[in-house]
Structure 1
């Protein structure tokens, strides 16, 4: 039985993360852990303003009630989904607690706009960027609205990191791999029209996603991939690797994960190669 964790902010609960995590847990007969990051520095209010108006205790109590209510909502949703689940309430620094939890998980589900602060940021947030650089298990980043997965797109550049991400995806979510799948690669200049390591990669894919179709694009990888995925349905799950700090894919000047979170409203499965 696999262990899926979903990272949740009790002061701003992500419905899309919960819905996606419950669906995957049910499909794969896994165990789901709701990791509520009750960071002691996280408040829904400005501490300076609360102290100035002598309302700190009142507002802190309301925050605690909201956090407790969020846990109850999660538990009720899991019970309705008829899945095995448990709850962790971590009270130290959110990023440190979540990285520690990820060591002992098969998959982490988190919303692309999570900040674990009272401020809103566009995706990818600073928290998400820091998490993806150091996380110890594959991550499924969810958009604001959860949709059932209908298609899978895998990004492949011939580097071990991209193959590793595909391997982790098909091993972690074996039912999802049966969806219609496209493997995209980009060749530049006078490069071949074949995918890198053509024979080995196709042999590998026959065992992991035998019905996958291959698409070879020509040109700048960032531009060509974003253009190719311009009209992609939001129910498409994109699989990619190479999010290690200081070691992004040979294709990209910045992380493709960042570009996709900024420009496409699709879920991302990200696993990096150590």
Structure 2
């Protein structure tokens, strides 16, 4: 049984994030922990410097406790309806992100409803708050759109880095059922003619975990053509490595993963530790 965090920001409730957790529970029962973060004052974050690798965001003085309570009851009722073992954590103190980071240390996976974070913070693309959550999480993260089809295929983004390999392994360990669907390991060269790094090694590893596996070299500009190529796959989930403040990876465009998340079409699995 896995422990999964389902993180809700402020007064938002993500149906998409819960649906992803529910489908995981269908394959294997999980302990689902609902984490209800306090509302944050994003407008004042410009005055707060980074410290210790985390962006500290001040809590709003006034939190809509009634709406948060309603969301907690909604979460509990949904878990009971689908027979999911669950817990609720709301004991966050001075800063939201350091507390959430501690939660992720003791979890196998965290699921976020990406669109709800954008809506609550008034932006249409991955913001610094969401970026910090992805960067500082001590467990893998799935960012789920509100409306999506549960994955029927998997796209493994490989760039030769240890981070991308770790993401592939963590995904295989956490989602054994999805290892049986069609899987594409895609490599995008930073310049034409460059071969797949450690090709024999990555093929040996991936073939041990994924039964229906193909390799694909994306020769076109990844930032321009990858989202179009991804949209042609059958209900994919994208598996990626590091999502740091400096960007997705050395080979993919710095805004590559952010663009995929911001389109709100496909779940994205991120693991960088």
User: Which of the five TM-score ranges fits, normalised by the shorter chain?
Assistant: 0.7 to 0.9
**Does the 8 A contact of 2:13 with 2:116 survive in 1?**
no
> What is the CA–CA distance in structure 1 between the aligned matches of 2:111 and 2:224, rounded to whole Å?
28
Q: Over aligned residue pairs, what C-alpha RMSD do you find? A: 2.4
Q: Are residues 1:259 and 2:254 paired?
A: no
1:135 paired residue number: 137
Q: Are residues 1:29 and 2:32 paired?
A: no
2:269 paired residue number: 269
Comparing 134-143 with 201-210, greater Cα deviation is found at: 201-210
1:75-154 counterparts in 2 under 5 A? 75-92=76-93, 93-115=95-117, 118-154=120-156
**Does the 8 A contact of 2:14 with 2:113 survive in 1?**
yes
Query: For 1:189, which of 183, 188, 192 is the aligned residue?
Result: 192
> What is the CA–CA distance in structure 2 between the aligned matches of 1:204 and 1:91, rounded to whole Å?
40
> What is the CA–CA distance in structure 2 between the aligned matches of 1:264 and 1:251, rounded to whole Å?
23
Change (3 A) 1:118 1:230: closer
Q: Secondary structure at the match of 2:176?
A: coil
**Does the 8 A contact of 2:110 with 2:140 survive in 1?**
yes
**Does the 8 A contact of 1:116 with 1:127 survive in 2?**
no
The offset of 1:38, in angstroms, is 2.8
> What is the CA–CA distance in structure 1 between the aligned matches of 2:228 and 2:119, rounded to whole Å?
33
> Number of residues paired by the alignment?
253
1:36-59 superposed Cα distances (whole Å, 9 cap, x missing partner):
1134x569xxxxxxxxxxxxxxxx
The offset of 1:64, in angstroms, is 1.6
Change (3 A) 1:146 1:263: closer
The offset of 1:146, in angstroms, is 3.9
1:186-221 superposed Cα distances (whole Å, 9 cap, x missing partner):
2332224xx332221111112111321111121433
The offset of 1:108, in angstroms, is 0.3
> What is the CA–CA distance in structure 1 between the aligned matches of 2:33 and 2:41, rounded to whole Å?
21
> What is the CA–CA distance in structure 1 between the aligned matches of 2:122 and 2:221, rounded to whole Å?
32
2:56 paired residue number: none
**Does the 8 A contact of 1:10 with 1:66 survive in 2?**
no
**Does the 8 A contact of 1:10 with 1:67 survive in 2?**
yes
**Does the 8 A contact of 2:5 with 2:107 survive in 1?**
yes
Change (3 A) 1:8 1:149: same
Q: Are residues 1:212 and 2:177 paired?
A: no
Gaps of at least 5 residues in structure 2 are 43-61
> What is the CA–CA distance in structure 2 between the aligned matches of 1:23 and 1:83, rounded to whole Å?
11
Q: Are residues 1:225 and 2:192 paired?
A: no
Comparing 136-145 with 110-119, greater Cα deviation is found at: 110-119
The offset of 1:262, in angstroms, is 2.8
2:45 paired residue number: none
Change (3 A) 1:64 1:264: closer
2:237 paired residue number: 237
**Does the 8 A contact of 1:243 with 1:255 survive in 2?**
no
Rg: which structure is higher?
Answer: 1
**Does the 8 A contact of 2:148 with 2:265 survive in 1?**
no
Gaps of at least 5 residues in structure 1 are 44-59
